[in-house]
Structure formats: C-alpha cells, structure tokens
Structure 1
Amino acid sequence: MSSDVPSPPKGKTGWPWDLPSESFSLNDWDDSKPTISIVTPSYNQGTFIEETIRSVIFQDYPNVEYIVMDGGSTDETVEILNRYDPWIDYWESTPDDGQAHAINKGLKRATGDIHGWLNSDDFFVPGALRGVAETFISSSCDALSGGRLLVDEDSNVTGWSIKPSFDPWRGGNTFPQDSTLWRSYVYDEIGYLDESYDFAMDFEFFIRLYKHFDILDTNHLIGAFRHHSDTKTRQHYHSVGINETRRAWETHLDAPTENISEDRDPGLFRHWWFWISHPRFLALPYVVQKSSEWLRS
C-alpha cells in the first residue's frame, strides 16, 4: 500500500479513512478478472467527496477504473481531486448540463466490463466491489442490485435497506442507485441516461434496464446512502422527484401509478407484509449497531 496516499483529515478514523493493510496494493491488476468502472458526478460536495474517493480506491479489488466528473465546483472539491489525482483514472471540473449529463460523460468514457456510478456524498462499504465482481463472474446476470447502508452527515449508520425484488404491479418504486451495477453492453440496447430528467434519471434508466435485462437481486451490502439536509432526495422529491418518477413509470410501465410511494423515506413498517414474511429483517437494530462498529474498525 503506497504511503503517498493523502492522510485523512484530523479525527477521521475507520473506513475509509484508515489505510488498508500493507498487503494491499492500489497498483495490482489482474487481466483474468473483469474491470469495474465507477463514475462519480460531483458539484460542490467538498464536505463528503474525499470519503467517496477513498471508499473507491481502497476497495480490495484490483481492476477498478475510477472517473470523477465535476461540474465546476467552487468549494474545496477541486483541491481534493488534485490531491487524489494519482489514484483517479480521469477527472475534470467543467460546467455541465446537469447530473445526468455528467454521469453520461463519465459512462461514455469508461472502458470497464461492469459499470456503475456513485454520487459524491455516498460511499462504498468495504469489500463491495470484490463481491460485485465475484457475483458477475459466477452469474450470467446482466445487472445486479444489492443492499445499502443508510448513514447520516457524520457517516453514522442509521439503518439499512435490502429491498424486495422490484415489482411495479405490487408496489415499490426504488432501486438502490449506489448498489446497482450492470454490464457495459446494456447501452447497445437501452442507451444511456435520459438527460431530460433532473431527479429521477436513475429510476428511469433502471426501469429500462429492468424491462430488457436480467437484474439479479443480492443481499450483499454494496453502497452507503447518505441522508443530509442538502440531498436532492430531501429537498426536491416532493416538488420534482415524484412527478419525474410518475413520468418514467407511465412512459415505460403498464402498471398503476398509485403503486408509486409518495414517501421517499417510507420507514420500517411501510411494507408491512414484507417485514412479516421476511422476519430476519426485524434484526434491524442489531445490524445497525454491528454495521457502525464494522465501519469504524
């Protein structure tokens, strides 16, 4: 492990701030394994993006291509990107036409076999990409969707989410964006993100993925989704997000729109039948505690 990797800010410990063990190298590459390309769109998320970057470059999987598309941030983001430049395959900081445009620019530049994007205020859990690669190697699936941790502004674990399989005819309208990845050939069939969407570009893309390809649901935790006051989810879901979600639903699905949840944070007992039929998930408080200890260790 290179000692040249920037030291974490004072007081930051645990994942992904502590350096991996000496046996881990950022430079190892294994041509026998698939390459995973991760794109991070960014704009003025200097508070969180360093944690995002470290969670990608410290993954214990050798073949990771990392691309950051920043929209011309005016905070400390560019200074952070410069510090981590040797460990990012490509980054730029130029004005763009929105989040979907930034993501598309990165995905079109990506050369990996498996693609995904990770927003600049979220992060991957330890071992996430190794697990993703192993699942794709052992499966014929075209895409996979896993579980996620829920964290607060200080990266404290507040919950977790392992969703039931997406079923528009029974309700439920989300894919965990930070925990969903796909093979690069899917664009030949469904194209890239629809840049006319400002909020639900991920949901609209995943619906097209769902309609044309096999998405494997896995219980493995992959991403950590951060709830904080400046997230799009908290600020714009009811004003913009719900309408874009309905638009995507009506465009691509022959299913009743009343199955769309009006609440982006549905809470523990929203889908009561799921919890009754999956009693292992009632261990939520224990898992939250253990996940927090795991990230801090």
Structure 2
Amino acid sequence: MEKKLKITVITVVYNGIDYIEDTILSVINQDYSNIEYIIIDGKSDDGTMDIVEKYATKISYWVSESDNGIYDAMNKGIKVATGDWIIFMNCGDYFFSSDIITQVFSQMLIGIDVVYGGAWVRSMWGEFQINPCIPKNIWKGFVHQSVFVKCEVCKDMLFDVDIKAASDYDFIYKLYIGGKRFQMLDLIISNILYIDSGFSSVNEIVSKKDVLYSIFRNRHSRKKFIIHYSYHLIAYLRKCMLIIIRSLFPNVILQIRRYRDCKR
C-alpha cells in the first residue's frame, strides 16, 4: 500500500488572541489523517499562547520566541518541518473546508513542485473570491495560504528576510523562473482575513514595491521582464490611487463594494 503523504501546516502568529483559535481549529479538524501541525509564535504577550497550549496535544511542534519578522518565523517553521508538502495558514486565516487537504491530495501530483488554488477573502469591504491564475501566469499573483509547496523545495530556498512585505511573492517567483512545475486546482483552499487599516494600506504599497524589486532583481529575459514589471507597476500605481480615493471618500468606496456584492 502506498504511503500517505505527510502534509505540514505552519501557522505564524504574534499577539493573535482574537483569531488564533479559529485557525487552529480549521487545521486540527481536517479529515486528512497525516498532518504535521507547527505553530511559530513571536513571543506573544496577549494570551495567544494560552490558546495554543489548550490544543497542545493536537500540535506537532510549537515555539514562542522573538523573531526577525514574519518571514523569519516562516523560515523557522520550514526548518523543523518533516512533511512531504508545506502550506502556511497564518493567524486569522483558515482552510475553506474540513476536507480540503483530502481534496487537494486526491489529485495526481506526480512531478509537481507547487500546487495551488483559489481563496475566499473577508474584509470590512465585504467578502469576495480570488480565483487562481493558470500556471504560466502565476507571476501575476497568488494567495500564499492557498499554495502547497514540496517540503524539499522550501528547505532549499527559504524566504528572503530582507524583503519585508512580499517575500512570499519573491519565493514563488524564483520557483517560477527556475522552472519548477506548478499545478492549478479549481478549488477554494483558504479563507483569509484582510484587516483594512492605515497600516495595512501602507503595507500594501510596500508589498507592491517589493514585488517590483523582486521582478527586477530576478530578471531573466528581457521580454518577460518588461511584461511582468509593467503589469505590476500598473498595479502599484492603481493601488496608490485607490488608497488616496479611499482616504478621501471612504463611504463612496464602501457603497461601491456593497453594490458589487449585491450583484454577485
């Protein structure tokens, strides 16, 4: 009988007492039987670890210590992982259904390095679905909570901790230009939380700039570089404009979002 793949789920958290339990429950309630669950806490002081300890018997490994940001914490998780595949389900996010890992790994994934799907987003502006790009367009973007990567690939690469807001994009982009094999699934894998705030708006801008930096430093062919960079430069400028409009006319943007939700 073929050995069942071990799936490593890594949750990174810092002071996430309001959200961590939902994330934990979505992992430990998966019907897939071979899950390694790792929690990396950045030395929370708000009671987060009390909740983690409540489920300690269901968690394969956890640690609470200071780190050098989210990507440093994610690297810590990769280094201790022993599974065949890794997915990050960070605090506030959770799996879309209790059988989603089973659905993903019922697929034929021979020779595949990265498998991914769509996501459902919750925000103050409403809820909406993000559909995945086809593999040749993965450079346009993805939701990292909906991406499974071979463990050996993660350990060989790790996240660049010097890229503070979009090292996940840099990681996947390097796999893409490096010729790794991607497979898209027509599944919603994760339900993610987007907290809209002044900080997150600033972080979005920094993230877009980091994406541009990643594409620039990893440029490999003139044609692809121009296409990829131009696409994300336009996205960056649009995001800047949207944030300005949102700050000046918040009620108008909210009404537009609500109208769009009603039309779905």
Q: TM-score, normalised by structure 1?
A: 0.72
Against the structure 1 CA distance between its residues 147 and 200, is the aligned structure 2 distance closer, same or farther, given a 3 Å change threshold?
same
How big is the shift at 1:164? Answer: 2.3
Q: 1:266 and 1:150 mapped to 2: Cα distance?
A: 22
Question: Deviating runs (4+, > 4 A) in structure 1?
Answer: 230-233, 263-267, 284-288
Against the structure 1 CA distance between its residues 72 and 84, is the aligned structure 2 distance closer, same or farther, given a 3 Å change threshold?
same
**Cross-structure match for 2:70:** 99
Q: Which runs of 5+ in 1 are unaligned?
A: 1-29, 268-283, 289-297
Aligned AA for 1:159? F
Q: Is the 1:166–1:174 Cα contact (8 Å) retained in structure 2?
A: no
Q: Secondary structure at the match of 1:56?
A: helix
**Cross-structure match for 2:118:** 147
Counterparts of 1:29-68 in structure 2, within 5 Å, are 32-68=3-39
Aligned AA for 1:206? I
Q: Secondary structure at the match of 2:106?
A: helix
Residue 173 (str. 1) matches residue 144 (str. 2): no
Aligned AA for 1:158? E
Aligned AA for 2:72? H
Q: 1:227 and 1:141 mapped to 2: Cα distance?
A: 30
Number of aligned residue pairs: give it.
236
Per mean C-alpha deviation after superposition, the further-off stretch among 50-59 and 206-215 is: 206-215
Against the structure 1 CA distance between its residues 97 and 217, is the aligned structure 2 distance closer, same or farther, given a 3 Å change threshold?
same
- Name the structure where helix makes up a greater proportion of residues: 2
Q: CA RMSD in A?
A: 2.9
Q: Is the 1:36–1:115 Cα contact (8 Å) retained in structure 2?
A: yes
How big is the shift at 1:167? Answer: 5.0
**Cross-structure match for 2:161:** 195
How big is the shift at 1:233? Answer: 4.6
How big is the shift at 1:232? Answer: 6.7
Q: 2:23 and 2:193 mapped to 1: Cα distance?
A: 11
**Cross-structure match for 1:21:** none
Q: Secondary structure at the match of 1:134?
A: coil
Q: Is the 1:175–1:206 Cα contact (8 Å) retained in structure 2?
A: no
Against the structure 1 CA distance between its residues 285 and 116, is the aligned structure 2 distance closer, same or farther, given a 3 Å change threshold?
same
Identity score, percent: 25
Q: Is the 1:166–1:173 Cα contact (8 Å) retained in structure 2?
A: no
Residue 90 (str. 1) matches residue 57 (str. 2): no
Residue 217 (str. 1) matches residue 184 (str. 2): yes
Aligned AA for 1:68? I
Q: Which runs of 5+ in 2 are unaligned?
A: 243-259
